[in-house]
Amino acid sequence: MNHVLIGISGGIAAYKVCEVVSSLAKRGIEVRVIMTRSAAEFVTPLTFATLSRQPAYTDSDFWQPTNGRPLHIELAEWADVFLLAPVTANTLAKLAYGMADNLLTNTVLASTCPILFAPAMNTTMWLQPTVQENWGKLLKDARYTAIAPTDGILACDAVGTGRMAEPEIILEYLESFLFTKGKQDLKGKKILVNAGGTREFIDPVRFIGNPSTGKQGIAIAQAAIHRGAQVTLINTANSPLPMGERLGVRIVRTSAEMHQAMLEEFPNADITIAAAAVGDVRSKSTSDRKLPKSELPLNLELEYIPDIVADLAPHKRPDQILVGFAAQTGTEEEVVTAAKDKLKRKGLDAIAANAVNSSQTGFGTDTNQATFIDKNGNNLSTPLSSKLEIAHRLFDFLMQNFP
């Protein structure tokens, strides 16, 4: 069973951690909570004890031994991942300088597991030079990974940076870290990903499209960020993606826009993963006004859409990795055979083959299953997993075979 230790400082954002604790416990992950004295002024220890099905520890428990050992040592050794949320300006300063004056900070110093930390404070406080200095100092420590604060309306009615990341973002980071053990093997890498289904317009309101939601491509972008990469995402879904300053997003709709964006971004990428469901055909003519039903052509004249990854491959440098996706129907053998053909025909380094004729692995699902194949004949079939886990398994495959 995975163990997540959560340290909560005294800020109003402590209420958001209730959802994190509850969600983890419902997933069968064992959770334990440490609260500072001021944190208990915002949410009671009883609340977190009830949600976690475990005691919530405070400074009053500090010198109560567990199994005959100091509590902070026992908790530190128990944890697989340590989440600190919210991190106040006061706790941030203590962490930056290695201070240990309460149960939470003593446990941090006694631990060796990866640490995720999510600051939350008033915008003016966040922008203070001393706070930014402490923030930068902590980011240089390899054990710490930040879940950066976001912009918005704060509890004090100020508008600006300082909101703690939302629970769903924190949960995604935790899922990644429980799988990767916090490794940052993509740090310094630039990753280019495309996601979603393109739309080929007949007129301003009608188009030829497909059911792709972009979930797998977005999960690949998330996994790359969680592993330390700088990511550019070319996305057809204009959905919020608060992943911090290491993500750049370009929104496109058509295959032509996707093609242009990929050509522009490709030279800067170390790894390019083409996960988007780009259309194969489009209408030869497009109206700039909505056509009356009586004017719609019953026999639509189509043309083939240029293949994006096949166009990128000839421009690939030896140090670049180009990965495609093959969404296929049929048996596992048929899906893999078709993927191998695409791998060779399009000049790819690797390809991910997945069946879309299953209720658990089709478009729009939260889970997926894939077979990864590279140009040297290496292959790996994954179990049915979340799309975020599939993304991590893909990066593990690439890092192993293209070191």
Q: Which residues participate in catalysis according to the annotation?
A: 156
Q: How far apart are CA 94 and CA 113, in angstroms?
A: 18
Question: In degrees to the nearest 10, what's the CA dihedral of 246, 251, 252, 253?
Answer: 140
Cβ density class 19-28: b for 16+ within 10 Å, e for less:
ebbbbbbeee
Q: How far apart are CA 244 and CA 314, in angstroms?
A: 33
Q: H/E element holding 159?
A: strand 159-163
Q: How far apart are CA 371 and CA 178, in angstroms?
A: 22
Specify the amino acid at residue 305.
I
Q: How far apart are CA 233 and CA 247, in angstroms?
A: 7
> Is there a cis peptide before residue 86, judged by omega within 30 degrees of 0?
yes
Q: How far apart are CA 394 and CA 26, in angstroms?
A: 27
Tell me the CA distances in angstroms from 195 to 18, 212, 213, 327, one per residue in order: 32, 9, 8, 13
Q: How far apart are CA 251 and CA 238, in angstroms?
A: 6
β-pairing verdict for 3-8 and 30-35: parallel
Contacts of residue 328, defined as CB under 8 A and 6 or more positions apart, other chains included, come to: 334, 335, 338, 339, 353, 354, 355, 356
With beta carbons less than 8 A apart as the criterion, state whether 233 and 250 touch. yes
Contacts of residue 295, defined as CB under 8 A and 6 or more positions apart, other chains included, come to: none
Q: How far apart are CA 59 and CA 72, in angstroms?
A: 10
